[in-house]
Structure 1
Amino acid sequence: MVEMNYLIELTSIHAAATRLGREIIRTATILSPGLSAKIQRPIYLKLENTQIGGSFKARGVLNKFASLQAELSLKRFVAVSGGNFGIAVAEASSKLGADVTIVMPQSAPASSIAKIRSLGVSVIVTNNVNEAFAQAEDLARQGYVVLDDCADTTIAEGHGTLALEFIEDCPQLTDVFVAVGGGAMLAGVATALKKQRPHIRIWGVETAGANSMDQALRLGKPAEIEVSSIISTLGVPMVSELMLRHAQAYVEEMVVVSDRDAVEGMVSFGEDGKQWVELASGALVAAAQKIAPQLPPDATIGLIVCGGNISSEDRQKWIASLHQQ
């Protein structure tokens, strides 16, 4: 049992980086002239949309599987996912021969569900995210091991490796924006950055209707929300005590933007940033626009482009929705 006040150590993130080695891609950090002009501050992008599986999730999943090597052939595993976590688990399990079932809400991108099934991994689709977690709990009672990226330090430590690369490639960063679902990436990234650069500012980003971390910080404890955001990858009904502790320790503020803002940000990433990204990454643009005017003139902003797993059909659907509102 993890102590409630336990915070990840920087040494554990360095150990994860060594462990992952060539298993993951050291993704590029680039200056975005277009987004810099839009936001009126230098904007650097950490391109995790180019990572294995199309998102940062491979880092935490492979770090977790490395810790489970002795059990991989003996046990069955289950994971709940809005898309990217499931893809990362499916790719790792098909490579390592693990028996995995992924439970996904029907709001998850159809392309993500199809991708997981194409890897030969079992997928259960439920009506909503609450039912998905209930289904996973039912399988856990049947003996499945739950892979929970909302409350696992090993997964968070793997995610934190991206921040080691980001700050090495762009040491002038003063502000970093991180999309928050369950909070594991936030925990790992914030630890890696704040332990090395205590004065760096970390901004968490959620959408209205998927703002479980924002609510937890306001209340001082995890609280269940009704997920209504269209962004399935951010739609976690309740953050864990563990991830909340990291947000309390390291985050300046949770910036909550609308689904519409996230769609417009996704379009801006394409037009101004020249990057194909999903809605969770799009939300970062809106958040940076909201916060940038409050920052010092010499601020340098980093956006973690968390994923690019969106089909052209999904993209067109969300863009069309802008014109219907």
Structure 2
Amino acid sequence: MITVADVEAEAERIARYVVRTPTVPSPGLSELLGAPTTAKLELLQRTGSFKARGATARLLTLSGTERAAGVVTVSGGNHGIALAVMAGMLDVKATVVMPRTAPASARGIAESAGASVHIADTMDGAFALVDELRDSGLTLIHPFDDPVVIAAQGTVGLEFAQDAGELTDVVVSIGGGGLASGVATAMCARRRGIRVWGVETEGAQAMSAALDAGRPTPVALSSIVSTLSAPSASQLTYEHVSALLTDVLTVTDAEAVQGTLDLANHAKVWAEPAAGCLLPASRQVLARVGEGAKLGLVICGGNATTTDVSTLAERFGLS
């Protein structure tokens, strides 16, 4: 498992390339949830999500031979965008594999940044294709099964711990678990007694399945939240989450989309459903811990268009 020293090392490595995003008390969310709430606005990060941190850190570790050959990754959207943009900035050729369910905007941004984009019919198919491309000589930059990536994502938590006021509970979204693993490593080291909670959507419950089984296990994917849709946790992220998180909560797709609308209306930020899921999960946290909670929410990304969210809201009958 990584340590807070690893997170601090990655913070120094990537400092000149990424944004130290704002950490702000949110009066609107505090009123909505009925508890003091502070938001870490990682949707204001370069490329629109926290993924720029891990992608940049891993790119900076490449050898000369690896840089010349190029890199490959698999992504439901945000990691692919981040790798494409940051690789272009660092003059490394990138190949991104996405499932057909990934947002068209994500594919377009990755291509505009100079990456070669391959589309697979399913997320399982995307992971299989990326293995083939890795075997052809490209260096895999995995979205979550990599200690450098996890430590770099943990810089979100390091900044949150340094910049926030008093917190009792931090809520963070889980896809493959890289962000949650890194954030929990940093927060638990820097804030004694803090509780860190993970959130998944129904139909994208790779970490919940791993915790139930005692090991990573494949899951069937049906969630509309492609950026959380990992077909399995990794052994590395499972070990971090099982050791450091208080629990992993589940919300519905409709709740995640409603949370996106609520973030716009009450927090005045335009997030994506992968961040919207934090609000219904926060209500679960408050119901479990009782009075006195002070919430911290990692608003992980904002790469959803108004059309994306409007379409989903209509689908679920939300307003």
**TM score, norm. by length of structure 2:** 0.97
- On the 8 A contact 2:272/2:302 being kept in 1, the answer is yes
Paired residue for 2:304, among 288, 297, 310? Answer: 310
- On the 8 A contact 1:90/1:100 being kept in 2, the answer is yes
Partner of 1:262 in structure 2? 256
What is the CA–CA distance in structure 2 between the aligned matches of 1:185 and 1:64, rounded to whole Å?
Answer: 15
What is the CA–CA distance in structure 2 between the aligned matches of 1:72 and 1:90, rounded to whole Å?
Answer: 16
Partner of 1:134 in structure 2? 128
- On the 8 A contact 1:43/1:302 being kept in 2, the answer is yes
Partner of 1:207 in structure 2? 201
- On the 8 A contact 1:72/1:97 being kept in 2, the answer is no
Partner of 2:242 in structure 1? 248
Aligned to 1:85, what secondary structure does the other structure show? helix
Query: Equivalences for 1:88-127 in 2 at 5 Å?
Result: 88-127=82-121
Paired residue for 2:156, among 153, 162, 168? Answer: 162
- On the 8 A contact 1:72/1:98 being kept in 2, the answer is no
**One-letter identity of the residue aligned with 2:15:** G
**One-letter identity of the residue aligned with 1:142:** S
Query: Equivalences for 1:1-16 in 2 at 5 Å?
Result: 7-16=1-10
Q: What is the number of residues matched between the two proteins?
A: 319
- On the 8 A contact 1:212/1:238 being kept in 2, the answer is yes
What is the CA–CA distance in structure 2 between the aligned matches of 1:139 and 1:69, rounded to whole Å?
Answer: 18
- On the 8 A contact 1:266/1:277 being kept in 2, the answer is yes
Deviates more, 1:136-145 or 1:8-17: 136-145
1:79 and 2:73 correspond: yes
Partner of 1:4 in structure 2? none
Give the drift of 1:142: 1.4
- On the 8 A contact 1:16/1:157 being kept in 2, the answer is yes
Partner of 2:55 in structure 1? 61
**One-letter identity of the residue aligned with 1:182:** G
Query: Equivalences for 1:193-232 in 2 at 5 Å?
Result: 193-232=187-226
Aligned to 1:61, what secondary structure does the other structure show? helix
Partner of 1:186 in structure 2? 180
What is the CA–CA distance in structure 2 between the aligned matches of 1:144 and 1:58, rounded to whole Å?
Answer: 20
- On the 8 A contact 1:48/1:307 being kept in 2, the answer is yes
Which runs of structure 1 show a deviation greater than 6 angstroms over 4 or more consecutive aligned residues? none
Give the drift of 1:72: 4.5
Deviates more, 1:43-52 or 1:163-172: 163-172
Cα shift readout 1:141-170 (whole Å, capped 9, x = no counterpart): 212211112210100111111111111111
Aligned to 1:272, what secondary structure does the other structure show? helix
What is the CA–CA distance in structure 2 between the aligned matches of 1:25 and 1:150, rounded to whole Å?
Answer: 20
- On the 8 A contact 1:266/1:283 being kept in 2, the answer is yes
Give the drift of 1:296: 4.0
Q: Percent identity?
A: 38
- On the 8 A contact 2:43/2:50 being kept in 1, the answer is yes
Cα shift readout 1:182-230 (whole Å, capped 9, x = no counterpart): 1111111000011122310010000010010011001111110011000
Cα shift readout 1:36-95 (whole Å, capped 9, x = no counterpart): 111111111100000000000111111111111534532221100001000110011111
What is the CA–CA distance in structure 2 between the aligned matches of 1:229 and 1:125, rounded to whole Å?
Answer: 18
Paired residue for 2:167, among 163, 169, 173? Answer: 173
Paired residue for 2:273, among 266, 269, 279? Answer: 279
RMSD (Å) for aligned C-alpha atoms: 1.3
- On the 8 A contact 1:27/1:47 being kept in 2, the answer is yes
- On the 8 A contact 2:66/2:139 being kept in 1, the answer is no
Aligned to 1:120, what secondary structure does the other structure show? coil
What is the CA–CA distance in structure 2 between the aligned matches of 1:175 and 1:197, rounded to whole Å?
Answer: 10
Query: Equivalences for 1:144-163 in 2 at 5 Å?
Result: 144-163=138-157
Gaps of 5+ in 1: 1-6
Give the drift of 1:241: 0.6
- On the 8 A contact 1:79/1:101 being kept in 2, the answer is yes
**TM score, norm. by length of structure 1:** 0.95
